Amino acid sequence: MALRGRKDDVPVEADAAGEPAPSLIRILHGPNLNLLGERDPEHYGSETLAEIEHLAMQRGEVLGLATEFFHTNHEGELVEAVQAAGRQAQGIIINPGALTHYSRALADAIDAVDIPVVEVHLSNIHARDEWRRTSVTAPCVTAIIAGFRQMGYVFAIDAMSGFLNEFAAA
Ligand code: DQA
């Protein structure tokens, strides 16, 4: 799986100074999100996916979280990315795109992971077409953020930091 963000050669367990590695958040994007910047700016804003990833990465740095990014237009690849993140990361932020509305395979994959999952939508899916108002993944995630455009990813990083601190304190 080709991941962007943290370099593969950075050890997961500890950095050079022996400090524990920061928690790793995988940010997964589903179908058509590679078209951001040109696709339906009224709903999705004018930022590209790369610009949104940069924002999320910067927010992660501020909060001491490492971020990695993955985009696919294919349902099975997104399922595999969720499974892999469940083994390798401490949190998942996912925008499943249209798979949100019908992919029970993706919902099952999310349900099977044991780490916090935040679902993000750039647009307010409840204020659009009828078919977008149902999220089959929603019952399986920890929290949902919708309608804040690119800022939703920043808020999702904040939320993830909160969840991880809460778990650490428990
Ligand atoms: C989306 C909303 C979905 O309905 C749509 O299919 C997308 C993007 C959003 O970010 O608002 O691809 O997930």
CATH number at residue 84: 3.40.50.9100
Choose the catalytic residue: 29, 44, 71, 153: 44
Q: Is residue 15 part of a domain?
A: no
Ligand 1 contact via 137 beta carbon (within 6 Å) = no
Query: Does residue 37 form part of some domain?
Result: yes
Residue type, 18: G
74 is an active site residue:
no
Enclosing domain of residue 140:
22-169
The reply to whether ligand 1 has any atom less than 6 angstroms from the CB of 152 is no
**Phi/psi at 106 (nearest 5 deg)?**
-70, -40
Angle at 103 between CA 39 and CA 36, to 5 degrees: 15
The predicted pLDDT at position 5 comes to: 55
Write out the chain's pLDDT in tens, 170 residues.
Answer: 555 554 343 344 555 677 778 999 999 999 999 999 999 999 999 999 999 999 999 999 999 999 999 999 999 999 999 999 999 999 999 999 999 999 999 999 999 999 999 999 999 999 999 999 999 999 999 999 999 999 999 999 999 999 999 877 87
Please tell me the total number of residues recorded for the chain in this structure.
170
Instruction: Quote the CA–CA distance of 128 and 166 in Å, as a whole number.
Output: 34
Residue 108, domain member (yes or no): yes
* d(C-alpha 97, C-alpha 121), whole Å: 8
Query: Domain for residue 5, yes or no?
Result: no
Residue 23 is given by DSSP the state P
pLDDT digits (tens, 9 = 90+) for 122-169: 999 999 999 999 999 999 999 999 999 999 999 999 999 999 998 778
In a domain, 16, yes or no: no
Task: Quickly count: other Cβ atoms within 10 Å of residue 80's Cβ.
Answer: 15
Number of structural domains found in the chain: 1
Among 28, 42, 125, 145, which residue has the most ligand 1 atoms within 8 Å of its CB, making it the best to mutate?
125
**Does residue 3 belong to any structural domain of this protein?**
no
Looking at residue 169, what is its pLDDT?
81
Catalytic site residue 153?
A: no
Please count the other Cβ atoms lying within 10 Å of the Cβ belonging to residue 138.
15
CA distance to 33, 61, 82, 112, 119, per residue, from 43 (Å): 12, 28, 26, 31, 17
Sheet containing 143-146: order of strands: 4-5, 66-71, 24-29, 91-95, 117-121, 143-146
Tokens of 53: 């990833």
**Does residue 131 belong to any structural domain of this protein?**
yes
Specify the DSSP class assigned to residue 141.
Answer: S
